[in-house]
């Protein structure tokens, strides 16, 4: 039995999300079915983050245990060949120790949220960004983002379906940068609550539109009340970009 760590890119548009679902296609099922076709083994693929329907992965990390003797490069190529035409690609595959766990060993998760700030509809990027027609003030959004960085009770920014034991999380990074008509929000933390990034982005967009002040964001956070949320941003613009693990693991 060998444990393999995978780096996975996927386009979330056709999927119900990362996690296997009875009612539609998932990234997990696509990879597990490809592995079954290659090895004959039914084995679970565990990811650093179980992204929602429509959320994308640029470099999701995952692991899988395989009995059959197979070189990492061959495994990667075989999964990629079998996954077609589903938009899932294994970018990297390495052998790891049997106690390395894509989810439980992960010490930092990084997301990027892409807003296209213009009146015109999206073309190439439909489903890959959030089109916001009202002009956004990215400088004030960045100021508001600072109110959320640090260790807080993020109940306001947590889905009603969140299964985490505690609403307390430590947000290491929440930045907002404008590049032409793009506004990019970057977030990093050891872990996030369900919908936390999209909920934070929704409130920052409210600030960018001038409907909220940075103080309103601070007050919504302090209220620890989901009813105080301004807006949950759509899944389209959200990308899981990176998972970090302890050095040498």
* Interaction mask 30-69, a copy of itself, x per CB under 8 A: --------------------------x-------------
Residue 215 falls in the annotated catalytic set: no
In degrees and rounded to multiples of 5, residue 226 shows phi and psi of -55, -30
Quick note: the x/- pattern for a copy of itself over 105-144, rule CB under 8 A, is -------------xxxxxxx-x-x----------------
Q: Based on CB atoms, which residue is closest to a copy of itself, 9 or 137?
A: 9
Total of residues contacting a copy of itself (CB under 8 A): 22
Closer CB to a copy of itself, residue 1 or residue 120? 120
Q: How many CB atoms lie within 10 A of CB 249?
A: 13
Query: 52, 92, 99, 216: which is the annotated catalytic residue?
Result: 52
d(CA 226, CA 174): 20
Letter string b/e over residues 52-77, b meaning 16 or more CB atoms within 10 A of that residue's CB: bbbbbbbbbbbbbebeeebebeebbe
> Is residue 91 a contact point for a copy of itself (CB under 8 A)?
yes
Residues 163-192 that bind a copy of itself (CB under 8 A): none
Question: CB-based contacts of 235: which residues, under 8 Å, 6+ apart?
Answer: 12, 52, 53, 54, 55, 198
Residues 11-30 touching a copy of itself, rule: CB under 8 A, are 11
CA distance 171 to 139: 20
What residues are annotated to the active site?
A: 52
């Amino acid at each position: 039995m060998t444990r393999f760590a995978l780096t996975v890119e996927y386009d979330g548009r056709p999927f119900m999300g990362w996690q296997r679902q009875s009612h539609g296609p998932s990234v997990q099922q696509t990879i597990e079915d490809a592995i079954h076709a290659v090895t004959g083994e039914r084995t679970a693929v565990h990811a650093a983050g179980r992204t929602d329907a429509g959320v994308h992965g640029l470099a999701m990390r995952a692991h899988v245990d395989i009995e059959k003797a197979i070189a990492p490069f061959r495994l990667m190529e075989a999964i990629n060949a079998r996954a077609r035409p589903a938009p899932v690609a294994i970018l990297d595959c390495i052998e790891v120790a049997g106690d390395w766990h894509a989810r439980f060993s992960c010490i930092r998760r990084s997301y990027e949220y892409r807003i296209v700030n213009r009146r015109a509809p999206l073309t190439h990027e439909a489903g890959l960004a959030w089109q916001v027609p009202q002009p956004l003030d990215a400088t004030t959004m960045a100021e508001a983002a600072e109110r959320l960085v640090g260790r807080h009770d993020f109940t306001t920014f947590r889905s009603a379906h969140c299964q985490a034991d505690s609403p307390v999380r430590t947000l290491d990074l929440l930045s907002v940068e404008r590049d032409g008509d793009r506004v990019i929000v970057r977030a990093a933390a050891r872990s996030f609550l369900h919908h936390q990034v999209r909920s934070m982005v929704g409130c920052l967009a409210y600030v960018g539109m001038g409907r909220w002040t940075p103080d309103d964001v601070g007050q919504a956070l302090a209220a620890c009340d989901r009813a105080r949320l301004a807006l949950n941003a759509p899944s389209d613009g959200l990308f899981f970009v990176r998972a970090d693990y302890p050095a040498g693991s």
